[in-house]
Amino acid sequence: MGMFSLVTGWPGPSGFGSASTSEQVTEGIDASKLTAIVTGGASGIGLETARVLALRGANVIIAARNMEAASNAKALILEKTPKARVDTIKLDLSSLKSVRAFADEFLSMDLPLNLLINNAGIMFCPFQLSKDGIELQFATNHLGHFLLTNLLLEKMKSTAKSTGIEGRIVNLSSIAHHHTYEKGICFEQLNDPTVYSDKKAYGQSKLANILHAKELSRRLREEGANITVNSVHPGLIMTNLMRHSLFVMKMLKVFTYMCWKTVPQGAATTCFVATNPSLKGVTAKYFSDCNEEKTNVLARDEKLAKDLWQFSEKLVKSAQ
């Protein structure tokens, strides 16, 4: 879309742009037949995504690590939309055990699943290992969602087949995927603190989100499954995600204030990709400001996507 469109909010080919809000891009959408899971749905753009999907009639499951925050989010949604259908389930994406427990609990509810919004994440944190011994940003932003998606995929396939409604998976990535390590993914040095960069590790995890979407799309197309998988850049939004670098980000915002979005604007691209009928059958794409955008070369590397998939499967198996 370019800097001019970003700053001015000028709409792109979709009819929407950086100034569009989540309610605007879903106006007229009837989501009453849809069930959606939103990870990180207790705050920030995850909460806004959950709120707007519920507003449009979807049955929304808020998946969150902090259950008090999730309960507050549910209450907020019900206050604004009394007839909303909202449930909460605990999910800590940095723990593969928690991911499996979430999937078991959701599947036991015997609900359909049309939309999976892989939204939750952490950003720029100091070097840490997850409970499974995996670098924390990679574990939380990519690997937890990788396992969650795989555990829920059969439910999504069966829902799409029985209802005839296209299933959609949306991965929250970032423009930060451009700023990663030289080879894209540090397979051999993932857990090496001597090469760790909090910024590049974040970019690595966001690159992984795009590569995951592309490889999963390829696999689903081969099967003929009626499910699309896309990734999005929400834009610059001041949320709790930036808690590890709040001072730096606030200073940056002073000099780049025209490029920042409100939370409703930040959730717009997710809501657009998840619900807009114009995107029927569109898969393996990357969106920003509600329009398709180009990724960097690494994000288009099919071999890297396949290698990441195999690497992720090994990590998941080793943590069992």
Instruction: Over range 23-40, report the average pLDDT.
Output: 98
Q: At residue 33, does pLDDT exceed 60?
A: yes
Q: At residue 21, does pLDDT exceed 90?
A: yes
CATH number at residue 173: 3.40.50.720
For residue 139, the model assigns a pLDDT of 98
Q: At residue 212, does pLDDT exceed 60?
A: yes
Q: At residue 57, does pLDDT exceed 90?
A: yes
Q: At residue 42, does pLDDT exceed 90?
A: yes
Q: What CA–CA distance (Å, rounded) separates 288 from 266?
A: 10
Q: At residue 87, does pLDDT exceed 50?
A: yes
Residue 319 lies in a domain: no
- Among the options 181, 196, 202, 286, which is catalytic? 196
Residue 318 lies in a domain: no
Structural domains counted in the chain: 1
For residue 256, the model assigns a pLDDT of 45
Residue 320 lies in a domain: no
Domain range spanning residue 229? 2-313
Residue 181 lies in a domain: yes
pLDDT in tens, 235-289: 988 655 545 455 554 554 444 445 679 999 999 999 999 999 999 999 999 999 9
For residue 90, the model assigns a pLDDT of 98
Q: At residue 129, does pLDDT exceed 80?
A: yes
Instruction: Over range 64-86, report the average pLDDT.
Output: 98
For residue 247, the model assigns a pLDDT of 53
Q: pTM value?
A: 0.92
For residue 238, the model assigns a pLDDT of 60
Instruction: Over range 132-145, report the average pLDDT.
Output: 98
pLDDT in tens, 292-302: 999 999 999 99
pLDDT in tens, 181-199: 999 999 999 999 999 999 9
For residue 258, the model assigns a pLDDT of 52
For residue 285, the model assigns a pLDDT of 98
Task: Between 25 and 319, name the one with better pLDDT.
Answer: 25
For residue 252, the model assigns a pLDDT of 47
Residue 299 lies in a domain: yes
Quote the mean pLDDT of the chain. 93
Q: Is 181 labeled as catalytic in the residue annotation? A: no
